[in-house]
Amino acid sequence: MITQQISETVHPLLTEQWRLICEKLTQDLGDAAFKSWIKPLELISVNDESIFFNAPSRFMKDWILAHYSENIQKYWKEVLPNLKKIEIGVNASKTSYLEVISEDSAQGVDEIIEGIDDNREDMSAALDSRFTFENFVVGKPNELAYAAALRVAESDTPLFNPLFLYGGVGLGKTHLMHAIAWHIKKTHPTRKVIYLSAEKFMYQFIRALRFKDTVAFKDEFRNVDVLMIDDVQFISGKDTTQEEFFHTFNALVDNNRQVIISADKSPADLEKMEERLKSRLGWGLVADIHPTTYELRLGILQAKADALGLKIPKDVMEFLAFRIISNIRELEGALNRIVAHATLVGRNISIDTTQEVLRDLLRSNDRRITIEDIQKRVCEFYNIKISDLLSSRRLQNIARPRQIAIYLSKLLTSKSLPEIGRKFGGRDHTTVLHSVRKVQEFCQSDREFANDIDILRRSLEA
């Protein structure tokens, strides 16, 4: 029985990991399915091969195992490559009469959906307690958006209306919006702030239409001091929702209430959006968040590690900042994964384990720096010939750059040791490994040497 194995408490990092997986599952399954089936699951314990959850009823357990265990497993496997199964127990204390009728699945579904509908009464979505201004790391790519958000949060009257934040996925739009809401809640507890996704706005609106309480819906939204709608691109192509949104928007702006919008594109580039709405959205301040830079990524990793009280080797942090370039969500996910893995397996975090644990993620973030690029750049830097670099000459002024080029090839590409050896004049993998270790040692003992490597690496990043 599962109950014997579920006594230990779950490590906070695994809880955090589960939270990140839940975000991905929401995206995969949609909000409604997520809330109905995944959210009620309680993470009980994790070991290298299995994960244990509790579900509120046997019916739910069966349903989840039949329909969602593959999705859940897929993401956990990223952290726990040896994972074999998901197990779900039924939480006896929470077992309701659903248990009794669980053979009748149709009735069961209705009951559950009804139960969930209750917590949708609240118009504003929950705010993430970690998404504050204090926890937001500012760098070149996001300084404008950050400054604008802070000004809006601190101002008693609307300065720019609307504030329109846009940028790619995982770059901090939601974080900034929550930060504004937290700030206003703290400084002006009586002001009414509503934050919700455009999807939820649409859901509320359709629901109001269905239950014929659109008057209440309008009142609710038009009586707020600050309205924030996240991911407004979601309502592209949804004509009636756009229409309603447009009216809500105008009513608020006309009454001098602050509106804050986010999207993945600039107002002008939003597709299937009414022209008058697009132009209206661009009236205030439009602030974009650019893709991250190496410095910002490193800064975020450091802040995150500090917040979790973790000591992570500097070279691993730099490696992550250099290699995970897609977005900040993936960067955080990568950090959590290696830490969770190290915690479970009881091994120190090193570049080697990081490469092993993040293999898939690193591949998808591949910058396509080739070994040839690296060889060329190193030769230019040390002013030697490629033919010398690939030769077997052991003169220090050639052997050292060769070791560096090999080291950088290991660091910056996803090639295996034998593959790298082959590209360096047919050296075997132990020679490659030896070079990598040597360079790591020199970096420790020689500041100037470490500096050279840094310059080379950055020049390859550019």
Point out which residues bind ligand ADP (CB under 6 A).
Answer: 131, 135-137, 142, 167, 169-175, 300, 328-329, 332
Closer to Mg ion by CB, 131 or 205: give it: 131
DSSP code string of 402-426:
HHHHHHHHHHHS---HHHHHHHTTS
- Of the pair 25, 456, the CB lying nearest Mg ion is at 25
Q: How far apart are CA 115 and CA 60, in angstroms?
A: 13
Report the nearest approach of Mg ion to the CB of residue 40 (Å).
24
C-beta of 54 vs 142, nearer to ligand ADP: 142
Minimum gap (Å) between residue 19 Cβ and ligand ADP: 10
Q: How far is the CB of 329 from Mg ion (least distance, A)?
A: 9
Least CB distance to ligand ADP at residue 192 (A) = 23
Q: Which is nearer to ligand ADP, 83 or 235 (CB)?
A: 235
Nearer to ligand ADP, 90 or 259 (CB): 259
* Residue 128 backbone phi and psi in degrees, to 5: -80, 125
Closest CA to 331 of 362, 307, 355: 362
Chosen from Mg ion, ligand ADP, none, partner binding at 439 (C-beta under 5 to 8 Å by type) = none
Out of Mg ion, ligand ADP, none, which partner does residue 169 contact, by CB within 5 to 8 A per kind? ligand ADP
Spell 357-395 as b/e; 16+ CB within 10 A means b: bbeebbeebeeebebebbbebbbeebebeeebbbeeeee
Report in angstroms the alpha-carbon separations of 199 from 18, 20, 31, 83, 216. 23, 20, 9, 34, 19
CB of 234 or CB of 424, closer to Mg ion: 234
Q: How far is the CB of 167 from Mg ion (least distance, A)?
A: 10
CA dihedral 308, 313, 315, 319 (to 10 degrees): -40
Residues in 213-252 at the binding interface with Mg ion, rule: CB under 5 A:
none
Beta bridge partners of 54: 42, 89
Closer residue to Mg ion (CB): 31 or 461 = 31
Q: Taking the complex as a whole, how short is the minimal distance between the CB of residue 198 and ligand ADP, in angstroms?
A: 12
Pairing of strands 193-197, 163-167: unpaired
Alpha helices in 255-291 (DSSP H): 275-281
108 binds, among Mg ion, ligand ADP, none (CB under 5 to 8 A by kind): none
* CA–CA dist 106, 97 (Å, integer): 14
CB of 14 to ligand ADP, least distance (A): 17
Q: State the CB neighbour count (10 A cutoff) for residue 290.
A: 16
How far apart (Å, rounded) are the C-alpha atoms in residues 307 and 82?
Answer: 29
The three-class DSSP label of residue 45 is strand
Strands (E), 1-126: 42-46, 50-55, 85-90
Token digits of residue 399:
């052997």
CA 49 distance to own-chain centroid: 25
Which of ligand ADP, Mg ion, none has residue 241 at its interface (CB below 5 to 8 Å by kind)? none
The one of Mg ion, ligand ADP, none whose footprint includes residue 300, by CB under 5 to 8 A per kind, is ligand ADP
- Residues with Cβ within 8 Å of 365's Cβ and at least 6 positions away in sequence, in order, are 323, 324, 325, 326, 330
Shortest Å, Cβ 76 to ligand ADP: 19
**Which option in Mg ion, ligand ADP, none does residue 410 bind, with CB closer than 5 to 8 A by kind?**
none
Q: Name the residue with the smallest CB distance to Mg ion.
A: 174
Number of residues that bind Mg ion (CB under 5 A): 2
CB 407 → ligand ADP: shortest distance, Å? 30
User: Scanning residues 162 to 201, which ones bind Mg ion (CB under 5 A)?
Assistant: 173-174
Considering beta carbons, is residue 176 or 193 the nearer one to Mg ion? 176
Whichever of 57 and 326 has its CB closer to ligand ADP, that residue is 326
Class of residue 43 by CB neighbours under 10 A (exposed 0-12, middle 13-18, buried 19+): middle
Minimum CB separation from Mg ion for residue 107, in Å? 37
Tell me the residue nearest to ligand ADP as measured from the CB.
172
Total residues found in the chain within this entry: 462
Distance CA 293, CA 328 (A): 11
Shortest approach of ligand ADP to residue 130 CB, angstroms? 6
Of 33 and 125, nearer to Mg ion (C-beta) is 125
d(CA 21, CA 14): 10
Residue with Cβ nearer Mg ion (165 or 357)? 165
> Which residues contact Mg ion (rule: CB under 5 A)?
173-174
